[in-house]
Structure 1
């Protein structure tokens, strides 16, 4: 028994990056499947929680069965897969030799997050898709994407105190990007909840706000994000103090920051194109779903930019 446990832990340590990457991909994937539940109005495809139907955990099959049950049950199934991955992450992080207590505590985040999401999902079903809880569900998923990328990044670092590799202006712009990302995502959630894809067949608009107005606020936040990102790229390429804190390794370390910022710009531009096309084409479900995927990638990309501005 001890040898089997030792072999499993040894395998996990050898494939730790794979496990942590799978966790990040899974956290992004659950946003996509959760979006499918909302966009197809399958939020009550399973009538109860934690069971899908009274007396059984799987979707009920009968002549009146619709695809809604399978979509919601599929999302619940992915939550189960994420739970297994979260346990593996916990084992990888908690058994990592020579790592700090702070790093080991990070291993609890995925499993606690998945458990919290399961409870929130259950409350959503029991409260018949209360819009506030639906929005919280997405917000927690976004936070878990950021936390999962942070965990993957920290795995490849040491445990010393963080040391900046860029000047103060670049750091300030990076944190401004993080703040604007939160604003963009929150306004995007409100925009979706105020529009025709709010997730309920009987209540078309879950948030009683003007969808055209809130979409303009959302677009304004995106443009502010683009402006700050452009300033970030300009400063990190042109400012003489861009790598002032990096010492002799400045060129290589600042190059990592630049690559992360250019990738974030690509994600942002693609997300903007999808956003405007979906707005002017009547919000087709496929594009709205891609926009939700883009939101997850935007969160990950911004987190990556912030993390590359310092090393341990």
Structure 2
């Protein structure tokens, strides 16, 4: 029987990327996921949420923005086009994960998960426009982007380690404390979307956009309460890791998280006491991505799966790279 044509297998037969390349491709997915969140925030903060008033086209008669739509149409359409850039970056990561030797199916699955999250969030983004920036759909749009960022970070982390069964580096109660930190941080992000949905930046100045019927200042106070909870859990985890003599990497990750939280807290207070200026709100959204990445890195650092396998050089004339370190190839 003839073999089934598989484009990814055809690429793998001709190209075996190094572990370093796969790791960098996964990191590029993380970077693009953050960019999508920040640019999506820029659309809202520049009142360009309905710059393209319909979807999937920009207007009823045009795929692209028309001159009459001005800068708002350009901003909204540019954000849509960045989705294709994100798809391309994730596509490279999928192909690299599939083509590397030995084959790493978990990385491939994480890559495809990102692809389907991008596709589903594109649909949610379309519904956001068609519903006139319904705040609940806007919140779902942001949370789906956060889910994408989560998978991207996991793939980035997994690309730098092996595929052995996970081995805990700390005792069970410490892992449970890290789970509490993750849950509290996730709730912090969710409450932040409620602040956005009830706050002053509705996303479009030309239309009366529906808002979540809550006092945004009271919701902001709840958001701040969760900030204190996350900071407290971070400090507690640091002391616990020192007490149990945990490896250096998890303790360093906790310190990194604490620093990011402090910087994000400063930005948040500047935002609140200056009536939420657009630029500061945008920086705060970027900071929220960094906080979530730091939380995930803390959680993932508490277990290990061994080192990534070496990638053989296909011709014997080049170096393979495993885990960021060169591996000598045989010479002829």
CA contact (8 A) 1:31 1:138 kept: yes
Equivalent residues in 2 for 1:193-208, closer than 5 Å: 193-201=197-205, 202-203=207-208, 206-208=211-213
How far residue 144 of structure 1 moved from its aligned partner, in angstroms, is 1.1
Q: 2:180 aligns with which of 176, 183, 186?
A: 176
Tell me which of 70, 73, 89 is aligned to 1:69: 73
Please, which runs of 5 or more residues in structure 2 have no aligned partner?
Answer: 1-6, 306-332
Which secondary structure does the structure 2 equivalent of 1:58 belong to? coil
Q: 1:213 aligns with which of 209, 214, 218?
A: 218
Match of 1:305 among 279, 286, 298: 298
Q: Which has the larger radius of gyration?
A: 2
TM (normalized to structure 1)? Answer: 0.89
For residues 280-291 of structure 1, the aligned pairs below 5 Å read 280-291=273-284
Q: 122, 134, 138: which is aligned to 1:134? A: 138
Quote the Cα distance in structure 1 between the aligned partners of 2:15 and 2:57.
Answer: 33
CA–CA distance in structure 2, aligned partners of residues 22 and 103 of structure 1:
14
Cα distance, 1:185 vs structure 2? 0.3
* Structure 1 gap ranges (5+): 244-253
CA distance in 2, matches of 1:81, 1:118: 13
Deviation per CA, 1:24-78: give whole Å up to 9, x if none.
10000000000001111211101221111234322212xx332111111111111
RMSD, aligned CA: 2.2
Q: What residue number does 2:99 align with?
A: 95
Match of 1:123 in 2: 127
Q: Does 2:148 match 1:155?
A: no
Give, in whole Å, the separation in 2 of the partners of 1:44 and 1:13: 43
Residue number among 209, 227, 231 corresponding to 2:232 in the alignment: 227
- Residue in 2 aligned with 1:46? 52
SS in 2 for 1:287: helix
Q: Is the 8 A contact 2:23 2:156 kept in 1?
A: yes
Provide closer, same or farther for how the CA distance between residues 20 and 213 of structure 1 changes in structure 2, counting only shifts above 3 A: same
* 8 A Cα contact 2:133 2:210, kept in partner: no
Aligned length: 298
| Cα distance between partner residues in 2 of 1:95 and 1:118 | 28
SS in structure 2 of the partner of residue 15 of structure 1: helix
Verify: 1:144 aligned to 2:148, yes or no: yes
Match of 1:34 in 2: 40
TM-aligned CA deviation for residue 8 of structure 1: 7.2
Which secondary structure state, in structure 1, belongs to the residue aligned with residue 155 of structure 2? helix
Q: Deviations over 1:204-229 (max 9, x none)?
A: 66111111111111000110111010
Question: Which of 17-26 and 5-14 deviates more?
Answer: 5-14
TM-score (norm 2): 0.84
Q: Following the alignment from structure 2 to structure 1, what is the Cα–Cα distance between the partners of residues 171 and 209? A: 49
8 Å CA contact 1:16–1:92 kept in 2: the answer is yes
